[in-house]
Amino acid sequence: MLPLRHIRRWQVASVLFLLLVLAAALMPAVWFWGDKVGGLLWFESVDKWLHGATFLALSLWFIGLYAKSAYWRVGLGLLIFGLIIEACQRMVSYRTADLIDVGADAAGIILGLVIGAAGLGGWCLRVEKRLTKH
């Protein structure tokens, strides 16, 4: 991890972010829409985009916490997290596991790592520096 002043807070926020993503991935797909048929049709049409966007957000979060030399670990860890989500979805009756979802996760991860390498990486240090200025 980068030498962050409030490292414990960043770690807690990271765990909460991952738990939120896991909880959302395990909710019934129709929970948000109420209408089972309409909800599922809408959900299936954007499911891969949601996976990609979610893992882009996770990737952008974690590139703020780690140095460029650790980006490969961030990517690998998030890819494993995506596989864990699919394994968990396979265990519940109201969700289905799909390896194409993992492909969408990987696309989001790669895009996030590229954005990090292009200059956004280490953003947490900049946030802390800005917040601690008097």
Looking at the 3D structure of the chain, how many domains does it have? 1
pLDDT over threshold 90, residue 6: yes
pLDDT over threshold 90, residue 50: yes
Q: Is 127 domain-assigned?
A: yes
Tens digits of per-residue pLDDT, 71-90?
A: 999 999 999 999 999 999 99
pTM of the prediction? 0.89
Domain extent, residue 25, equals: 7-132
Q: What is the rounded distance in angstroms from the CA atom of residue 47 to the CA atom of residue 86?
A: 13
Q: Is 2 domain-assigned?
A: no
Tens digits of per-residue pLDDT, 89-120?
A: 999 998 889 999 999 999 999 999 999 999 99
Q: Poorest-confidence range of 29-33, 122-126, 127-131?
A: 29-33
DSSP string, 6-66: THHHHHHHHHHHHHHHHHHHHS-TTTTTS-HHHHHHHHHHHHHHHHHHHHHHHHHHHHTTS
Q: Is 23 domain-assigned?
A: yes
Q: Is 126 domain-assigned?
A: yes
